[in-house]
Each structure stands twice: as C-alpha cells, then as structure tokens.
Amino acid sequence: MAELEFHGAAETVTGSLHVLHTDDGAIYLDCGLFQGRREDSRRINQSFPTRPADVKCVLLSHAHIDHSGRLPRLYRDGFTGPSYATRATCSLLSVMLADSAHIQEEDARFWNEKRAEGPQDFIQPLYTHEDVLKAMEHFLGVPYNQPLPVAGGVTATFLEAGHVLGSSSVLVELDGWRKTRLLYTGDLGRFDMPILRDPHTPLPEVDYLITESTYANRRHNDEAEMADKLVAIIQETRAAGGKVVIPAFSLGRTQHLVYALSQAIAAGKLEPLPIYVDSPLSVNITQVFREHPECYDAEARDFWHSQGGVFGRDMIRYITRVDDSKALNDMHEPMVIIASSGMCEFGRILHHLKNTVEDEKNTVVMVGFQAQHTLGRRIVERAEQIKIFGRMYELLARVEVLNGFSAHADMDDFAKLLAPLAPRLKAAFVVHGEPHQVSAMRDTLVAAGCSAVHIPTKGDRFKL
C-alpha cells in the first residue's frame, strides 16, 4: 500500500518536497529549500515530514535550489541513503549547493554580529560547506530513460523535462498485483528553448500525476523574438555610447543569453562588442554546461561545433576575480554586462547598477521574474529613485523589460504535455503555483477529462 504526502510547494512555488510512502520506506520527491521571510524559512527548512533516518531515498528532479537546497540538511540530520538525479544535475548540485551553503553561512554570520543579546541567541547556519561535501558522497548520477530500482518493488525513470540543464520529470512504478504508475513533473520547460532538448513527449500514461503549475494561465512571448529585441537594444545603446547591464539568474538564464548573443554575432546580426559574464557562480555553472553536451538539442550541438568550442571565450569574457569586476567600472566604451543576482537583491549586479543607472546613455535590461519588494521590481516599475547599498540613486538609464526568456512551460506547453494523460488518470495533484495558477491547471486537467484533480495543502495524504 502506497501513500502520497504533500509537504512543500503545496499552494506555493517554493520548498518542493513530496513524500511517497511505500512498504520499503519513505521516498522523497525533491528536497527543496523554502525561500521566504527569514523566520519562516528557518523553521520550515529545519523540519522534515518524516525522520531523516527513515528516508529510503530521494529522487531529485533538477538542481534549482527550491527543489534541491534542503538536501545537505537532510543528510546532516541523519539521512544516509542515496539521492538519485541525472548526471548533469549532480554536477550542477556541487556548484549550486556550495553557493547555497555560503549564503547560509554568511546569513548566520550577519545576524550573529547584529545580535547583542548574548550567545544563547546565536543562530547556526542551516548547513555549511562541510555538510554539502558529506551529502555529495551520496549523490548518484543516473542516465535518462532507464528504469532504475530505487527501493523494494519501486523503479524510477528520469525523463527529459526541458527546463534547465539536467532537469527531469520522474516516472515512479510500484509493483503490486497490478503496477501503479506515478509521474512527478518536477518543473516543466518549454518547446524550442535554446540549448536544451524539448520536454519528453509523449509523456507515459500513468495512474497518478503530480504537476507543477507555475505559469498555468500565462502565454509566453516567443523566445526568438525576444533575442532579436535584445540585439536591437544593444545596437541602440552602443550607438548612444552606453553600457547594457543585464541582471540574470546564474543557472539557465545566463547561458541562454550567452547563447543568444553568440548566435547573433555568428549570424552577423550583432557586431562584436565586449560581453562580460561577471559572476563566479555563473562562470562555474557555464563550465558545467560545457561538460554536459549530451543534454543539448541538435541545434546547440551544431552551433557550438561550428564555432569550434562551447560558450566560447573569444566572444564572451568570463570574470571571477573581484579586481577584474571592479575594473569594468573604469571602462567607458560600449559593452554588455551580465551579472547576478537576477532580482538585484545581492551580488555584483549591485555594483554595476550603482555605476550605470544615473547615466541616460546606459540601458538596464530585465529578463527575469521580479518578486515583490525586490530592487529588480523597482527597476521594472521604473521608479524614479532606487536604493543601492543604503544610498538613493536617480534611475535615469533606459529600462527595457523582456518577458520571453522563461524556462517554465506556459499554458500551451502544459496542454500539449499533460492533456493526453488526463482521461486515464485516477487522480492528479497540482502543486508549485500561486493560487490562481493552481486553479488554472485544475481547469485544464478537468477540461481534458480528469475527474479527480486535487490541490493539496501541506500535510495532506492520499492513498494510491
């Protein structure tokens, strides 16, 4: 008898963690970090739905921190089993989790310095770099499309999700007098995305479906159109003698931008100009992309092959050293700077914004989702003044917002991927979405013929 339990990303988009209780123990589907207000996050990220020591294994859909970032804590609290993920995901995790540990350690240091009450109030980081290294000993890289025994009577198959490098949807099959099949989508990507292969189609027929719903009621702009717009913006800014600054997430968005600009230069649409990727994390992640060409689509393979190298250094300059980053401030010729973080909350992008926003010759291009109360959101809203490092700056630079670069499936992608499964489902569970997106996904599945669509809340359990 198996049972599903919902813990994270239930009625929200963060902290993905679902549990499949089997006769052989609990299997976690993802183990993501909850990202929100500090006090909530600390409490939630330290609590697990079962005793960590009782977990049989973890099946990890992809390397984004909201799907993987609680793993080092799970191991630290007593889990000793394997975590299965694709090989590319395992490579990305070594970079992503090390960065996450650094943030946890810095955060704890910052708060401990601020607190004057006494040692009893000091907080510990959620986990450290040491914990990440210990966790990594248990990561098992697996190939796509091959059924793998992961527990007694349970096999898992990782299918391409087309969302970020190494991303997968996971098919879980449970033996019994009749096989029970469950598909966990993870985060689904889009068709015809640059670099990555399309999501696996058709998805296998299953009895149960757990699906994300991030953009279940949105239709994205065309990616190629966005790339053309970006090139036009760069040309105009260059003609004005300015710099283009692009805040971008390190995993996925940065590599897509590099790819789009490299293609434009190779096709003669964009005259070469200095393009800098200024972020140690982005540089490390791009290195992981270079090491996993098996995950590229045919177009990307052909393109890089024709260029004689992948994410080449002849067109793009990668910066890791702080001195080299600072040196960009003193260069006044036209250039493109891609830096993190994507929402302008921390990282080197803040220095570049500080140095460019007060000059109307420059352009800030916003390419990602900007949460409320972030500096990125203020820029998208074209606030007259913005605060950086505690000082107010006039926002005189041109601001352009390009919304076509999403790595998430939109309503058309969902319909194409999931509607064929709907009529045969015994039940579907919709997670990982804001409330109106979750309801949109429920409507899509009901319209496609699924009569039992559930929107689980934290702690809900369902017998399979």
Q: How far is the CB of 207 from Zn ion (least distance, A)?
A: 25
Give 139's contacts (C-beta < 8 A, 6+ positions apart). Answer: 82, 83, 85, 90, 93
Q: How far is the CB of 185 from Zn ion (least distance, A)?
A: 11
Q: How far is the CB of 455 from Zn ion (least distance, A)?
A: 20
DSSP label at 212?
-
Measured from the CB atom, the residue of 230 and 407 that comes closer to Zn ion is 407
- Token look-up 């970079």 returns 95
Determine the interface stretch with Zn ion among 62-70, 107-115, 349-357, 444-452 (rule: CB under 5 A): 62-70
Alpha-carbon distances, residue 171 vs 120, 416, 433, 450 (angstroms): 46, 18, 21, 19
Measured from the CB atom, the residue of 184 and 276 that comes closer to Zn ion is 184
Q: How far is the CB of 187 from Zn ion (least distance, A)?
A: 4
SS3 of residue 393 by DSSP:
strand
SS3 of residue 198 by DSSP:
coil
Q: How many residues bind Zn ion (CB under 5 A)?
A: 2
Q: How far is the CB of 252 from Zn ion (least distance, A)?
A: 8
Determine the interface stretch with Zn ion among 40-48, 63-71, 135-143, 254-262 (rule: CB under 5 A): 63-71
Measured from the CB atom, the residue of 131 and 187 that comes closer to Zn ion is 187
Determine the interface stretch with Zn ion among 187-195, 254-262, 414-422, 423-431 (rule: CB under 5 A): 187-195
Determine the interface stretch with Zn ion among 179-187, 217-225, 310-318, 419-427 (rule: CB under 5 A): 179-187
Determine the interface stretch with Zn ion among 60-68, 211-219, 285-293, 390-398 (rule: CB under 5 A): 60-68
Measured from the CB atom, the residue of 99 and 187 that comes closer to Zn ion is 187
Rg (CA), the chain: 22
Q: How far is the CB of 296 from Zn ion (least distance, A)?
A: 18
Cα gap 169→383, rounded to integer Å: 40
Cα gap 236→378, rounded to integer Å: 24
CA atoms within 13 A on the CB side of 286: 29
Q: Are 404 and 369 in contact (CB under 8 A)?
A: no
Here's the x/- map for Zn ion, 64-93, by CB under 5 A: it reads as: x-----------------------------
Q: How far is the CB of 277 from Zn ion (least distance, A)?
A: 21
Angle in degrees, CA 403, 380, 189, rounded to 5: 25
Measured from the CB atom, the residue of 187 and 400 that comes closer to Zn ion is 187
DSSP label at 296?
B
Q: How far is the CB of 212 from Zn ion (least distance, A)?
A: 8
Q: How far is the CB of 76 from Zn ion (least distance, A)?
A: 24
190 binds Zn ion (CB under 5 A): no
Measured from the CB atom, the residue of 185 and 356 that comes closer to Zn ion is 185
Measured from the CB atom, the residue of 16 and 263 that comes closer to Zn ion is 16
Q: How far is the CB of 9 from Zn ion (least distance, A)?
A: 11
Measured from the CB atom, the residue of 64 and 238 that comes closer to Zn ion is 64
Q: Are 38 and 17 in contact (CB under 8 A)?
A: no
Question: Among 99, 187, 410, 413, which residue sits at the site for Zn ion (rule: CB under 5 A)?
Answer: 187
The string of DSSP letters for 125-191 reads -S--HHHHHHHHTTEEEE-TT--EEEETTEEEEEEE--SSTT-EEEEEEE-SSS-EEEEE--S---T
202 closest CA partner among 436, 422, 437: 422
Parallel, antiparallel, or unpaired: how do β-strands 244-247 and 363-366 relate?
Answer: parallel
The residue type at 444: T
Site residues for Zn ion per CB under 5 A: 64, 187
